[in-house]
Structure 1
Amino acid sequence: MKLLFIHSALAGALVYVSFKQKLGLLPYNAATAVLLFLVVLFLLWLTSYLYRRTYFIKLPKLFSFLFFFFKELLVANLKIAYDILTPHYRMRPTVLALPLEASSDFEIAVLANLIGLTPGTLSIDVSPDRRILYVHTLYLFNDDAEQMKQHIKNGLERKILELTT
Structure 2
Amino acid sequence: MKLFALNLLLAFSWMAVNGDFSLTGLVVGFVLGHLVLWLAKPVWPDDPYFKRLWGGVGFFFWFLKELWVSSVKVATSVLSPNMGNRPAVVAMPLDAKTDVEITLLACCITLTPGTLSLDVSPDRSVLYIHANFAEDPEAVKRETKETMERRILEWLR
TM-score > 0.5 by shorter chain: yes
Q: Which of these residues, 61, 69, 74, is aligned with residue 63 of structure 2?
A: 69
Asked whether the 8 Å contact 1:45–1:56 carries over to 2, the reply is no
1:128 and 2:119 aligned: no
Deviations 1:99-157 (A, max 9, x none): 000111111111111111111111100011110000011112xx111111111111111
Determine the structure 1 residue equivalent to 2:139: 147
Amino acid across the alignment from 1:50? P
SS class of match (1:139): coil
Q: CA shift at 1:6, angstroms? A: 4.3
Q: 1:43 to 1:152 in 2, by over 3 A?
A: same
Give 1:1-165 correspondences, 5 Å limit. 1=1, 3-8=3-8, 10-12=10-12, 14-15=14-15, 17-20=17-20, 33=25, 36-37=28-29, 39-47=31-39, 49-53=41-45, 54-140=48-134, 143-165=135-157
Return the alpha-carbon distance in structure 2 between the equivalents of residues 42 and 35 of structure 1.
Answer: 10
Asked whether the 8 Å contact 2:115–2:129 carries over to 1, the reply is yes
Q: CA shift at 1:18, angstroms? A: 2.2
Q: 1:152 to 1:45 in 2, by over 3 A?
A: farther
Q: CA shift at 1:50, angstroms? A: 2.3
Deviations 1:72-125 (A, max 9, x none): 111111111222233433422111000000111111111111111111111100
Return the alpha-carbon distance in structure 2 between the equivalents of residues 58 and 2 of structure 1.
Answer: 13
Q: Could you list the runs of 5+ residues in structure 1 that have no partner in the other structure?
A: 22-28
Asked whether the 8 Å contact 2:52–2:155 carries over to 1, the reply is yes
Q: CA RMSD in A?
A: 2.6
Return the alpha-carbon distance in structure 2 between the equivalents of residues 16 and 78 of structure 1.
Answer: 43
Q: Which range is displaced more, 97-106 or 86-95?
A: 86-95
Q: Which range is displaced more, 48-57 or 106-115?
A: 48-57
Taking structure 1 as the reference length, the TM-score comes to 0.78
Return the alpha-carbon distance in structure 2 between the equivalents of residues 57 and 48 of structure 1.
Answer: 15
Amino acid across the alignment from 1:7? N
* Segments of 4+ moved more than 6 angstroms: none
Taking structure 2 as the reference length, the TM-score comes to 0.82
Q: CA shift at 1:41, angstroms? A: 4.5
Asked whether the 8 Å contact 1:48–1:56 carries over to 2, the reply is no
Number of corresponding residues = 155
Asked whether the 8 Å contact 2:11–2:26 carries over to 1, the reply is no
